[in-house]
């Protein structure tokens, strides 16, 4: 069968978001095997520029973007516009911000 593009949902073991302190939200995309980790990392579908496109934010809002090899993970952290728990904040724990990542397409 010819290789086809896949969704990040199918390739990653864990896709999550969470507060990292009161001013930041951090995203972890963790893979079960090195092949998937390398494939996604090299595809650049989660690069700094891609993350900006996915969430519609300027590059300055990404305060960290690292490949964390021991955990086979890609991790990035963005700055909130208002601190967690301020009135109007829809996600005090920052735990439901990862949704758009599930549908990221990874080329073959």
Partner 1 sequence: MPVSIQHARSANRTLRIVCPNGHLGFAPIKKGSFEIGLGADPDLICADSGSCDIGPGPLGTDTSSSPLAWQTHDLEHMLLGARRLGVPMIVGSAGDTGTNSRVDLFVRVIQELARKHALPKFRLGWFHSEVPKSSIAAQMAAGETIAGLDGRAPLDAEALCATDRIVAVAGVHPFIALLEAGADVIIGGRSSDCAIFAAPAIRAGFPEALAYYYGKVLECASFCAEPYAGKESVLGEITMEDVKVTAMLPAQRCTVASVAGHAMYERRNPFFEHVLGGTLDMSACAYEQYDERTCRITGPRFVPAQELRVKLEGSGRIGERYVGMVGVRDPYTIANIDQVIAWARGQAREQYGESGYDLYYTVYGRDGVMGELEPLRDRPGHELCIVVQAVAPTKEMAEEVCMTGLRQMFYARLPQVKGTAGGVAFGLDEVLPASPAYRWTMNHTMRVADPMALFATGLTEAGV
- Which parts of this chain interact with partner 1 (CB under 8 A)? 14, 18-24, 26, 28, 30, 32, 54-57, 63-64, 66, 68, 70-73, 75, 77, 79, 81-93, 96-97, 99-100
Q: Which residue's CB is nearer to partner 1, number 100 or number 107? A: 100
Question: Minimum CB separation from partner 1 for residue 12, in Å?
Answer: 12
CB of 106 to partner 1, least distance (A): 17
Question: CA 107: distance to chain centroid?
Answer: 17
- Residue 78 or 106: the one with the smaller Cβ distance to partner 1 is 78
- Considering the complex, state which of residue 3 and residue 56 has its C-beta at the smaller distance from partner 1: 56
Min dist CB 3 to partner 1, Å, is: 25
Q: Residue 65's beta-bridge partner residues? A: 76
Say which residue the tokens 């939200």 belong to.
Answer: 25
Q: CB-wise, 19 or 43, nearer to partner 1?
A: 19
């Amino acid at each position: 069968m010819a290789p086809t593009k896949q969704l990040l949902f199918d390739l990653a073991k864990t896709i999550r978001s969470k507060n990292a302190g009161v001013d930041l939200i951090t995203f972890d995309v963790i893979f079960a095997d090195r092949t998937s980790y390398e494939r996604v990392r090299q595809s650049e579908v989660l690069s700094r520029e891609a993350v900006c496109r996915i969430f519609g934010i300027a590059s300055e809002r990404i305060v960290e973007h690292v490949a964390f090899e021991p955990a086979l993970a890609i991790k990035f952290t963005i700055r909130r516009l208002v601190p967690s728990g301020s009135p109007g904040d829809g996600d005090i724990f920052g735990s439901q911000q990862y949704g758009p990542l599930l549908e990221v397409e990874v080329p073959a």
